[in-house]
Amino acid sequence: MRGIVKRFPGVVANDGATLEVAQGEIHALLGENGAGKSTLMQILYGMQKADAGKVELDGRLLQLHSPADAMANGIGMVHQEFMLVAPMTVTENVALTQPPGTPWSLAQTRAHLAATAERYGLAVDPDAKIEHLPIGVQQRVEILKLLCRDARLLILDEPTAVLTPGEKDSLFAVLRSLAKQGRSIIIVKHKLHEIMEIASRVTVMRAGRTVECFPTKDTSPQELARCMVGRDVVLDARHTPGSPGQAVLAVRALHAASDSGTNAVRGACLEVRAGEVLGIAGVDGNGQSELAEAIMGLRPSHEGAVEVDGVSLESLTVAQRRRAGLAYVPADRRHVGSVPELSVGENALLGMQRRLCRLGGWWRDEDQIRAHAQTLVDRFGVRAASIDVAAGSLSGGNLQKVILGRELLLNPKVLLVEQPTRGLDVGAIESVWHEMRSARDNGSAILLISAELEELFALSDRIAVMYEGRIVQVLANDASAGLRERIGLLMAGGDLAEAEAAHALGH
Ligand SMILES: Nc1ncnc2c1ncn2[C@@H]1O[C@H](COP(=O)(O)OP(=O)(O)OP(=O)(O)O)[C@@H](O)[C@H]1O
């Protein structure tokens, strides 16, 4: 890709970007939130049309008007949010991606799929329904969809964000085997140590430009961070103990169902004190999101209690719970945390409407509202052309900053936060961690749900492990020997009998 330019109203998303990928190479694309990585990849996959520049494959100039054009040229993409039809089988999903006019029957597709899976070592049951497959296997199906169409260049956008460490290792093994067989892979990633582990070269983007391309063997995470952000980034992973006060949030034997009606939260108990971060460790899908939603009142709880300062929240609406001091940063920033059609400024006010009304007309004061939004944008480093652009047009990381900033500016009594730094660049992680630490030190009780153990160790005062809907154990984050292993074991459901005995004793 040479000299790629792409403008959106008020933003130059790509400003002469250049990217070269060799055959059989795993190439990482790195850059701050909003640097223009997704835009560049969308141009390569025919989803966006560049205003200038050219795309060549094997020296041939390509005209890409749609993803169908890209696929016809052997370029495929696995999106961060999978594009699978959940009630259908793996084979049916693969059949759906075949070009119109493909004469294959389902049986032939199944055979082709099985042979392709075998060839690349991607174990998957062709007859399983997608909705019954773990995320890591669903991702394999996405990759198989591309391989069944003989894609030679695969683009993977943040492929490890939703995977467990074990799933990540098997994905990396698959990628290495694909590269060995001559396929090229572009991987858009924020985690520097994973880039060092999997890529042979890395291109760094800044403000729409590709500023540098390094062989990974000649660089370091520190150099990459500096190149990307333009300054040294010190991600301080050391936890400093706080001075917790009284218990503010109490969850007592809470039960809640999942969307499909199964028991997602099964008698969860926990307490979070003022000035304390309680981290929740657990493999995604063990009831963490349902727990947060039940606490917020977004999901009914059919048994148990949630209390703030000793007062039950039962029968309170979500708005009333917010007024009681709860704030919430959900994992799904586009569908739950924001209204993408509204402007950044309007999103900054969501959830405050009633409070603003009570403050005697402040809400009608356009200048005040704009000033509030601008404070949020400045303090949290949101990269947006202005506070008037639609929130949905922000890059994923920048939208996350808007939501987190909006909730933190409320100075909440209790902050529920899920995956606060998923998809964020290291500079942004540094500032989010800083803000969360300050909120704790200012007395907020924070319930932090994160799939990143590093994040839990860096921020939590205590770490609770959630497994199959229960809090199986709560441990002090005291850097004691074997703590990480113990948490890993509990996350995998090990040691449950002992954990349950401890739980029964009230530890
Ligand atoms: N469809 C669109 N309409 C308007 N602006 C857009 C659109 N898509 C992207 N942008 C803007 O272009 C810039 C680059 O965004 P892009 O999503 O490419 O960044 P990114 O590097 O992928 O970020 P992240 O790491 O947060 O995903 C951002 O300022 C973004 O707001």
Rounded average pLDDT over 237-260: 91
**494 or 262: whose pLDDT is higher?**
262
- Residue 400 beta carbon below 6 angstroms from any ligand 1 atom: no
Say how far apart CA 17 and CA 53 lie, in whole Å. Answer: 8
Residue bearing tokens 């010190």: 234
The pLDDT of residue 265 is above 90: yes
User: pLDDT tens digits, residue range 353-406?
Assistant: 766 665 555 556 678 788 889 999 998 888 888 999 999 988 878 898 899 999
Pair 474, 464: CB distance under 8 Å? yes
Say how far apart CA 18 and CA 38 lie, in whole Å. Answer: 14
Options 3.40.50.300, 3.40.50.970, 1.10.10.10, 3.90.79.10; CATH for 246-325+412-505 is 3.40.50.300
Nearest residue CA, atom 16 of ligand 1?
A: 36
> Of ligand 1's atoms, which has the minimum distance to the CA of residue 383?
29
- Residue 484 beta carbon below 6 angstroms from any ligand 1 atom: no
Say how far apart CA 113 and CA 130 lie, in whole Å. Answer: 15
Say how far apart CA 346 and CA 392 lie, in whole Å. Answer: 12
Q: Which of 1, 4, 38, 344 is the best mutation target for the ligand 1 pocket, counting ligand atoms within 8 Å of the beta carbon and taking the most?
A: 38
pLDDT of res. 500:
55
Which CATH code is given to the segment(s) 4-229?
A: 3.40.50.300
Rounded average pLDDT over 330-340: 87
Average of per-residue pLDDT values in the chain:
89
Q: How is 422-484 classified by DSSP, letter by letter?
A: TT--HHHHHHHHHHHHHHHHTT-EEEEE-S-HHHHHHH-SEEEEEETTEEEEEEE-S--TTHH
- Residue 13 beta carbon below 6 angstroms from any ligand 1 atom: yes
pLDDT of res. 334:
82
Q: How far is CA 151 from CA 77, 184, 288, in A?
A: 9, 9, 37
The pLDDT of residue 497 is above 70: no
The pLDDT of residue 152 is above 70: yes
The pLDDT of residue 502 is above 80: no
Confidence of residue 5 (pLDDT cuts 50, 70, 90): very high
pLDDT of res. 210:
95
Report CA(323)–ligand 1 centroid distance (Å). Answer: 34
User: pLDDT tens digits, residue range 97-135?
Assistant: 888 777 788 899 999 999 998 888 888 899 999 988 877
User: pLDDT tens digits, residue range 406-444?
Assistant: 999 989 999 999 999 887 888 888 888 998 999 999 999
Nearest residue CA, atom 2 of ligand 1?
A: 393
User: Could you tell me the two tokens for 348?
Assistant: 């900054």
Pair 465, 449: CB distance under 8 Å? no
- Residue 383 beta carbon below 6 angstroms from any ligand 1 atom: yes
Rounded average pLDDT over 329-354: 87
pLDDT of res. 427:
84
Pair 282, 465: CB distance under 8 Å? yes
Say how far apart CA 197 and CA 496 lie, in whole Å. Answer: 33
The pLDDT of residue 136 is above 60: yes
Strands, sheet with 311-312, edge to edge from the N-terminal-most edge strand = 263-273, 247-257, 301-308, 311-312
Residue bearing tokens 């939004």: 373
Confidence of residue 489 (pLDDT cuts 50, 70, 90): confident
User: pLDDT tens digits, residue range 303-315?
Assistant: 999 999 999 998 8
Say how far apart CA 155 and CA 199 lie, in whole Å. Answer: 13
pLDDT of res. 46:
96
Report CA(36)–ligand 1 centroid distance (Å). Answer: 6
Give the amino acid at 158: E
Say how far apart CA 205 and CA 37 lie, in whole Å. Answer: 7
- Residue 188 beta carbon below 6 angstroms from any ligand 1 atom: no
User: pLDDT tens digits, residue range 275-308?
Assistant: 999 999 988 778 999 999 999 999 999 899 999 9
What are the boundaries of each domain within the chain?
4-229, 246-325+412-505
Nearest residue CA, atom 10 of ligand 1?
A: 393
Confidence of residue 203 (pLDDT cuts 50, 70, 90): very high
Q: Which of 41, 189, 210, 393 is the best mutation target for the ligand 1 pocket, counting ligand atoms within 8 Å of the beta carbon and taking the most?
A: 393
Pair 44, 201: CB distance under 8 Å? no
Say how far apart CA 320 and CA 458 lie, in whole Å. Answer: 32
Select from 140, 147, 98 the least CA-distant residue to 119: 147
Q: Which of 4, 7, 8, 81 is the best mutation target for the ligand 1 pocket, counting ligand atoms within 8 Å of the beta carbon and taking the most?
A: 8
Task: Let me know if the fold of 4-229 is the same as that of 246-325+412-505.
Answer: yes
pLDDT of res. 159:
78
- Residue 405 beta carbon below 6 angstroms from any ligand 1 atom: no
The set of residues, in sequence order, having a beta carbon less than 8 Å from that of 389 and lying 6+ positions away, is 9, 10, 11, 343, 344
User: pLDDT tens digits, residue range 435-469?
Assistant: 899 999 999 999 999 988 889 999 999 999 999 89
